[in-house]
Copies of this chain bind each other. A is one copy, B any other.
Amino acid sequence: MTAPERYSYLGPEGTFTWEALRQVPAASDGEWVSVSNVSEALDDVVSGASTYAMIAVENSVEGGVSATQDALAELPDLRIVGEYLVPVRFAVVAPTGVSLSDVTVLAAHPVAYAQCRKWLEQNIPHHSHSSSLSNVRAAEDALSDPDIHAALAPKGISERLDVEVLADDIGDNPTAETRFVLVRRGGAVPERTGADKTSIIAELPDDAPGRLLEMLEQFATRGVNMSLLESRPIGDAMGRYRFVIDLDGHVHDERVADALMGLRRFSPKVIFLGSYPRANGHVPEVSPRYTDDAFIEAREWIRDVAEGGSSQA
């Protein structure tokens, strides 16, 4: 009998990251390690302390998580093996006995606070905001500090802390969600499912005009669609960027492999972060020109041609 796999995640129980990890079937048998930020989770994977880390990469309202993107670019040999979406629903929670009209000081993580601003202005117009380091911590602050009357937190927190839900689903954007990825160190690429994503990070060869265009043409000429393009500073000088890119398809798809080879020749530095099933299960439409069969047929044709065989189409 082997030891259970360890999963590091931004805890404690009840965070959105924790909800993401609950979506991983294999994790139910694993050991869950609550850590206090993304860096710690990734360090656990790099050091081998954990096999997996669940980390937030993007919020549909706030955008990409810079710390995650930079860590994926800089830490060696990380691989994304899964993607998960968690709806971002905020509630106002408070210790028993507090009602909404009592609230004049509200604890909230700044990002959470920003996402509920409109509701708060209308429903608690005269409150002040006390900044907390996480959503769960905000609820804890509301319990421990008598000067804080309530907190913004995920509704589920009421299952674990002694707080009550005064109002639920108060985010300004009802469709807000956060995208998480499960990463581990190296190892086999997950099998392709037909609804896959491939994540890479690439630098441009230099800052000549049109270089980004040239890079994107590597994908376009192979019919590979891009669902994400984010620039992040390389860090050595203002104006130098690397690009975080998500592609539709799997490295085992011929068109994706061909595009990545083109990118590899073009870019002085390409990092392959992994191919993995998409959280939304969307199967991309692939033109007949870019199917595996089309690539295999073309490869056989060029071999025949190069060896002196007949060339007619």
Which residues of A are interface residues toward B (Cβ below 8 A)?
Answer: 58-64, 66-67, 76-77, 79, 85, 114, 131, 133, 173, 175-177, 179, 186-189, 205, 209-210, 212-214, 216-218, 220-223, 225-233, 235-239, 241, 251-252, 257, 260-262, 264-273, 289-290, 294-295, 297-299, 301-302, 305-313
From known contacts A60-B233, A310-B77, infer whether A294 and B265 are also in contact, taking CB-CB under 8 Å. Answer: yes
Additional A-B contacts beyond A62-B233, A261-B298 (14; CB < 8 A): A60-B237, A61-B235, A77-B310, A186-B310, A189-B305, A221-B221, A227-B239, A229-B231, A257-B306, A260-B302, A261-B295, A261-B301, A265-B298, A270-B313
Q: Which residues of B contact A131 (CB under 8 A)?
A: 133
A299 to B179, CA, bound (A): 32
Contact between chains at B212 and A226 (CB < 8 Å)? yes
Q: Which of A214, A262, A268 has the most CB of B within 10 A?
A: A262
From known contacts A186-B310, A271-B311, A313-B269, infer whether A209 and B237 are also in contact, taking CB-CB under 8 Å. Answer: no
Q: Which residues of B contact A189 (CB under 8 A)?
A: 305-308
Q: How many copies, total?
A: 4
Contact between chains at B213 and A216 (CB < 8 Å)? yes
Cβ distance A87 to chain B, nearest Cβ, rounded Å: 10
- CB-nearest residue of chain B to A266: B289
From known contacts A209-B223, A260-B305, A298-B261, infer whether A63 and B313 are also in contact, taking CB-CB under 8 Å. Answer: no
Q: Which residues of B contact A273 (CB under 8 A)?
A: 311
Contact between chains at A264 and B312 (CB < 8 Å)? no
A294 to B66, CA, bound (A): 32
A310 to B274, CA, bound (A): 11
Q: What 9 A-B pairs come out closest when comparing CB atoms?
A: A272-B311, A261-B298, A188-B308, A264-B298, A209-B225, A60-B238, A269-B313, A272-B305, A265-B294
